[in-house]
Amino acid sequence: MEYINDINIQEAVIHILDNNSSEPVLNEYTLELTEDIYKFLHKHIEKCLKDEELKTAVFNSERNIVKEIVQDYLNGVDSDILGLSKELARQLFLIMKGNVNIPSCDLIIVSLVTDVGPMIGILKMDYVKNFTHSVEFVNDKIGIGIVPQAAGLPASSQRIQKAAFIKPIREDNVFDLYVIDKQKKSNDDDEYGANYFMNSFLGCSIVANKRDMTKTFLKASEAWTRSNVSENAEQAEKIRTTIKSKLKEEDSINIEEVSKELFKDNPTQKQDFEIFMKGNGLENEVSVDKAWVEKKLKRVRLKIDKDIDLYINEEAYHDDSKFEIQRNGDGSINMIIKHVINYIEK
């Protein structure tokens, strides 16, 4: 996956999209990027671009206003960020009025320069309920209370549910934009009009990338192991160790070769593992995202017999002088923490 490390905000505009109003409240001015506002926006953008839910996508072939006007801006055809941001706000507001379940928000449009080129960022800032104090004079005395604020913006420590970062479209593009489109868990699948942000507003489709394939491979391997070898800790440990070693050591993983190595004495499990992997949308060859693996495997968390949680950094986990796994030959294992000099309770 192409990661962005350097972000510079050039301009930004904010608009109010209130589902209870008949029209959006459109700003006539760009934001004054004071130090505090710049930091606020930068932290949100940085958090979005590092989010585990960030996907890569391509625009669909059908005409789409968002795609066209953003490309005009990025290609220098139209340099009016205010005009661009207003039209983006109008388009999203039209969709919101068609579905009352889409939450009201402030829409922030940012013009960015990054280490991979210029981008337009679209941040849907759903309102957060906050509280503040209120001061009243009651019988010539000061009364201080607490009142709710229904239209607070997400703090920079909170995560945005929907955002997009659009690149200039080029013939050699593997993808055209980054997208976050988180769905609230609900029994009603149509609560948010399904994927309105991607389908109706952006008009784009997800494309596979190394990080998502690597993440899916690791997650699917763990899910299969939990379901099929829950009563054999020795085999489960072997599977997990082998999978992690492959991810760290190899640039690509062949699922058939891995399953052959893991289940050479059990053709039924081998076939079941391969079918399960394909059922999770994986091709036989998985390209490994080394940057994601390095970050993900820094720490090991072990849930032992439902009673014990153990967190170990990767270095200690593989250091036999500190931690060791002994196979007992009956399907069980011993986990030994060695040479403890100091410990604390938390």
User: 124-170, pLDDT tens digit by residue?
Assistant: 999 988 888 889 998 889 988 998 888 888 888 899 999 999 999 99
Strand 105-114 to 7-17 pairing: antiparallel
Confidence of residue 186 (pLDDT cuts 50, 70, 90): low
pLDDT at 194: 62
Straight-line distance from the first to the last Cα atom of the chain, in angstroms, rounded to the nearest whole number: 37
* Spatial CA neighbour of 226 closest among 211, 243, 209, 212: 243
CB-facing half-sphere around the CA of 177: CA atoms within 13 A:
25
CA distance 1 to 65: 27
Q: What is the pLDDT of residues 276-323, one digit of tens each?
A: 999 999 988 999 999 999 988 888 888 888 888 888 988 888 889 999
Are 120 and 59 a contacting pair, CB within 8 Å?
Answer: no
Mean pLDDT for all residues in the chain: 91
> What average pLDDT does this structure show over 99-126?
95
Indicate if the pLDDT at residue 188 is higher than 60. no
Which pTM does this prediction carry? Answer: 0.82
